[in-house]
């Protein structure tokens, strides 16, 4: 039996319609869902299940490799924060490190000029078919994201193409995440409580484990719904909406079975300045440099970047604490 949704569900098929009325109707549904919870399910004719299955096969093959082979693509050796993330590399705040490993892929920016800390050539493992299938999934979900950006523009009362000019080379990241299961392991979370840094996230997962903080401050399980993706608001969209949408805190609890998840975090271009975009409202947030915020938050969670900061090789300008957005005052583990 299909689990009863605990979050709103929005069909985004008509974002691709030629009729403005259809696109406005989807935008209104998105607006209501994002204002209500900051988390929702989306379904639509755009979602290609075959690409999802191919990505899962590649992830299962990659994460089954021995550790030495996976570390040849270690993220700490990349130019644009891409590559393999071993267990224990990432930690949100203080306490126990996450019990997960990942492979991170960014916009594969090849030109020698215009590079940024999160914008450059990806590291790719020496595995036939991996790059092709991962890139196909990245391109597919990024395309859906561009339609959603247009939906958000309509929802916020902006010109529908408002974000188009700022989506030329965005540092949007795809994370292939593997949560291993070991019944004898200590009680470590899959990933600690946090908000996402970008505008919004689109997530496909193979097993339950995701939890969000509800309006009462309680942790609530998010079941999987067949033929849907999970979508959530990030820090930057909280700012753009002037607080109408909240970057809801979430985590992955200790998993009861092996779990894979594929999250694509959608951002605007690195130099885009994020500021409240709702006309007629007093801004509740100061402007924020999008790429700089994204890199600063990343540098506060990854061990290899923390080491660079400690050695004085990296200085974070205007960094804000990791819990600066969302319902941080309501969350309790």
pLDDT at res. 42? 98
**Would you say domain 9-310 falls under CATH 3.90.1650.10?**
no
Whether residue 265 has pLDDT greater than 80:
yes
Confidence of residue 252 (pLDDT cuts 50, 70, 90): confident
CB under 8 Å to 274, separation ≥6 — which residues? Answer: 236, 239, 240, 268, 287, 288, 289, 290, 293
Cα–Cα–Cα angle for 121, 124, 128, nearest 5°? 140
pLDDT at res. 96? 61
pLDDT at res. 324? 73
pLDDT at res. 331? 34
**How does pLDDT run across 155-182, given as a tens digit for each residue?**
999 999 999 999 999 999 999 999 988 6
* Average pLDDT estimate for 107-130: 95
To the nearest whole number, what is the mean pLDDT of the chain? 90
pLDDT at res. 333? 28
Nearest to 142 by CA among 163, 118, 111: 163
Confidence of residue 332 (pLDDT cuts 50, 70, 90): very low
Structure tokens at 239: 């700012």
CB under 8 Å to 193, separation ≥6 — which residues? Answer: 92, 93, 213, 249, 250, 251, 331, 333
Report in angstroms the alpha-carbon separations of 133 from 55, 57, 128: 6, 9, 10
Confidence of residue 325 (pLDDT cuts 50, 70, 90): confident
CB under 8 Å to 12, separation ≥6 — which residues? Answer: 26, 30, 42, 43, 44, 46, 144, 147, 148, 151
pLDDT at res. 91? 77
Q: Does residue 163 contact residue 268 with C-beta atoms inside 8 Å?
A: yes
CA distance between the termini of the chain: 30
Whether residue 27 has pLDDT greater than 70:
yes
- Overall size of the chain counted in residues: 333
Q: Does residue 34 contact residue 233 with C-beta atoms inside 8 Å?
A: yes
* Average pLDDT estimate for 66-79: 96
The structural domains of the chain, with segments of one domain joined by +, span 9-310
Nearest to 83 by CA among 201, 175, 171, 169: 175
What is the 8-class DSSP label of residue 213? E
* Average pLDDT estimate for 257-276: 96
Q: Does residue 304 contact residue 75 with C-beta atoms inside 8 Å?
A: yes
């Amino acid at each position: 039996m299909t689990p009863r949704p605990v979050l709103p569900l929005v069909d985004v098929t008509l974002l691709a319609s030629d009729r403005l009325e259809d696109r406005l109707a989807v935008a209104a549904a998105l607006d209501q869902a994002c204002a209500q919870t900051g988390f929702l399910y989306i379904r639509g004719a755009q979602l290609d299940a075959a690409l999802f299955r191919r990505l899962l096969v590649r992830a299962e093959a990659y994460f089954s490799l021995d550790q030495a082979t996976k570390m040849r693509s270690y993220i700490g050796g990349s130019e644009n924060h891409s590559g393999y993330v071993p267990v224990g590399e990432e930690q949100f705040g203080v306490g126990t490190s996450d019990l997960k490993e990942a492979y991170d892929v960014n916009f594969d920016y090849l030109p020698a000029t215009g590079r940024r800390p999160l914008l450059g050539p990806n590291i790719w493992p020496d595995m036939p078919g991996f790059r092709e299938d991962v890139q196909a999934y990245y391109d597919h979900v990024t395309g859906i994201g561009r339609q959603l950006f247009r939906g958000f523009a309509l929802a916020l009362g902006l010109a529908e193409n408002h974000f188009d000019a700022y989506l030329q080379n965005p540092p949007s990241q795809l994370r292939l995440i593997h949560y291993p299961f070991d019944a004898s392991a200590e009680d470590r979370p899959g990933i600690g409580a946090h908000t996402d840094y970008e505008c919004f996230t689109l997530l496909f997962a193979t097993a339950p484990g995701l939890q969000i903080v509800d309006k009462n401050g309680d942790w609530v399980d998010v079941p999987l719904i067949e033929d849907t993706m999970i979508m959530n608001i990030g820090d930057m969209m909280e700012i753009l909406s002037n607080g109408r949408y909240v970057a809801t805190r979430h985590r992955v609890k200790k998993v009861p079975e092996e779990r894979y998840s594929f999250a694509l975090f959608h951002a605007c271009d690195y130099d885009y300045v994020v500021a409240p975009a709702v006309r007629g409202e007093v801004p509740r947030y100061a402007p924020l440099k999008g790429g700089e915020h994204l890199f600063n938050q990343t540098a506060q969670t990854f061990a290899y970047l923390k080491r660079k900061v400690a050695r004085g090789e990296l200085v974070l300008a205007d960094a804000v604490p990791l819990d600066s957005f969302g319902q941080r005052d309501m969350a309790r583990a």
